[in-house]
């Protein structure tokens, strides 16, 4: 599932391709992805509108468009589990799972989603209550500490809460906790000041690194959507990619393999119905305690 870095890479890629393009026609193939915007309102608002800008907020894409009368409004996009957004030559057949298509001359903008959990909607409420951007100035170790102190939930589960910090999902929560050497099962309120500081730093390092790495990878926008052809959302773990990319994730998906830091085996547990990967050596409180007493 795409998280902040993948969405950021997509936004940077799409922004120059869309700026100045006017939507001549809107084709809605799956109404579900527009919810709760009614299809007729969606069409009426977007036909004749011109793309002005594209930004990211958490895992959301914010398209800013100007209507025929110059009024600017946002269109909110979310890739869900399997969504993809790309420009597609008009003379080629549409992909099987195309959900929304904007006709814009020689190229169409396609929102494709095999499972239809994604969104392309005029409803702005999902982005209104998001927590701070982890790479922005408003995200400080102090604000993170205040939020963590309030909860007894495991720290990994809390990192997935978009009200606490926006844009982190299952992959980067595991990666940040690994970098910070923190046990994902530890109750959030029990993290020390030093541990919160390490986690705050790790979140920013992991995300910045992933954005930088993702930006160097050729994206396959007109691919079939199969994992092995999807150069965007699974970069780092896709079969057939260069070894450099495979090694991008240091703990996620590596269950049973040796830790890159201490050689202990990488373990997996389930938290809030999601898989968590962590090192059974350098990320467990017991080992840290033992190390301290040596």
Stretch that binds Zn ion, among 7-15, 37-45, 242-250, 271-279 (CB under 5 A): 271-279
Judged by CB, which is closer to Zn ion: 178, or 221?
178
Q: Is 261 in the site for Zn ion (CB under 5 A)?
A: yes
Contacts 24+ apart (CB under 8 A), 274-278: 274/160, 274/170, 275/170, 276/156, 276/170, 276/173, 276/174, 276/184, 276/185, 277/174, 277/178, 277/251, 277/252, 277/253, 278/174, 278/177, 278/178, 278/183, 278/184, 278/251
190 is catalytic: no
2 is catalytic: yes
Give the single-character DSSP code of 22.
Answer: B
In the complex, the smallest distance separating the C-beta of residue 262 from Zn ion, rounded to whole angstroms, is 3
Judged by CB, which is closer to Zn ion: 166, or 282?
282
Stretch that binds Zn ion, among 1-9, 21-29, 111-119, 273-281 (CB under 5 A): 273-281
Judged by CB, which is closer to Zn ion: 17, or 205?
205
3 is catalytic: yes
Stretch that binds Zn ion, among 58-66, 188-196, 224-232, 256-264 (CB under 5 A): 256-264
Judged by CB, which is closer to Zn ion: 30, or 288?
288
Q: Is 262 in the site for Zn ion (CB under 5 A)?
A: yes
Q: Which helix (H) or strand (E) holds 213?
A: helix 193-214
Torsion angle of alpha carbons 105, 63, 157, 146, nearest 10°?
A: 160
Residues 194-253 close enough to bind Zn ion by CB under 5 A: none
Judged by CB, which is closer to Zn ion: 179, or 210?
179
Which is the catalytic residue, given 103, 248, 274, 288? Answer: 274
- The distance from CA 36 to its chain's CA centroid, rounded to whole angstroms, is 22
Q: Is 282 in the site for Zn ion (CB under 5 A)?
A: yes
Where are the extended beta strands (E) located within 18-176? 25-28, 50-57, 60-66, 72-78, 83-89, 98-103, 107-113, 119-121
Q: Is 281 in the site for Zn ion (CB under 5 A)?
A: yes
In the list 10, 18, 188, 279, the residue contacting Zn ion (rule: CB under 5 A) is: 279
93 is catalytic: no
Which is the catalytic residue, given 57, 59, 119, 181? Answer: 59
Neighbours of 91 (CB within 10 A): 7
Q: Is 265 in the site for Zn ion (CB under 5 A)?
A: no
Stretch that binds Zn ion, among 116-124, 192-200, 234-242, 261-269 (CB under 5 A): 261-269
Q: Is 180 in the site for Zn ion (CB under 5 A)?
A: no
Read off the tokens for 74: 């946002």
Judged by CB, which is closer to Zn ion: 217, or 279?
279
Buried b / exposed e along 61-87 (16+ C-beta atoms within 10 A): bbbbbbeeeeeeebbbbbbbebbbbbb
- Strand, coil or helix: what is 116? coil
At residue 207, φ and ψ (nearest 5 deg) are -70, -45
At residue 138, φ and ψ (nearest 5 deg) are -75, -15
In the complex, the smallest distance separating the C-beta of residue 189 from Zn ion, rounded to whole angstroms, is 25
Active site residues: 2-3, 59, 274
Q: Site residues (CB under 5 A) for Zn ion?
A: 259, 261-262, 264, 279, 281-282
């Amino acid at each position: 599932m795409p998280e902040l870095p993948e969405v950021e890479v997509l936004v940077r890629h799409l922004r120059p391709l869309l700026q100045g393009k006017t939507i001549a026609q809107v084709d809605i193939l799956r109404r579900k992805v527009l919810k709760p915007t009614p299809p007729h309102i969606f069409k009426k608002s977007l036909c004749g509108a011109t793309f002005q800008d594209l930004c990211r907020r958490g895992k959301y894409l914010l398209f800013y468009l100007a209507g025929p009368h110059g009024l600017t409004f946002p269109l909110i996009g979310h890739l869900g589990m399997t969504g993809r957004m790309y420009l597609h030559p008009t003379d080629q057949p549409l992909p099987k799972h195309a959900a929304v298509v904007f006709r814009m001359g020689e190229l169409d903008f396609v929102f494709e989603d095999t499972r239809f959990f994604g969104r392309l909607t005029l409803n702005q409420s999902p982005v209104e209550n998001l927590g701070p951007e982890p790479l922005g100035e408003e995200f400080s170790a102090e604000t993170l500490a205040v939020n963590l102190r309030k909860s007894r939930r495991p720290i990994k589960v809390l990192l997935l809460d978009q009200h606490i910090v926006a844009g982190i999902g299952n992959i980067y929560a595991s990666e940040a906790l690994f970098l910070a050497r923190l046990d994902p099962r530890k109750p959030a309120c029990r993290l020390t000041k030093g541990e919160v500081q390490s986690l705050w730093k790790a979140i920013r390092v992991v995300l910045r690194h992933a954005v930088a790495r993702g930006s160097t990878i050729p994206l396959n926008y007109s691919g079939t959507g199969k994992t092995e052809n999807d150069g965007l959302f699974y970069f780092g773990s896709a079969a057939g990619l260069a070894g450099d990319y495979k090694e991008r994730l240091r703990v996620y998906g590596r269950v049973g393999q040796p830790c890159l830091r201490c050689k202990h085996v990488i373990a997996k547990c389930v938290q809030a119905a999601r898989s968590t990967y962590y090192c059974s050596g350098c990320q467990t409180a017991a080992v840290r305690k033992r190390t301290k007493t040596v």
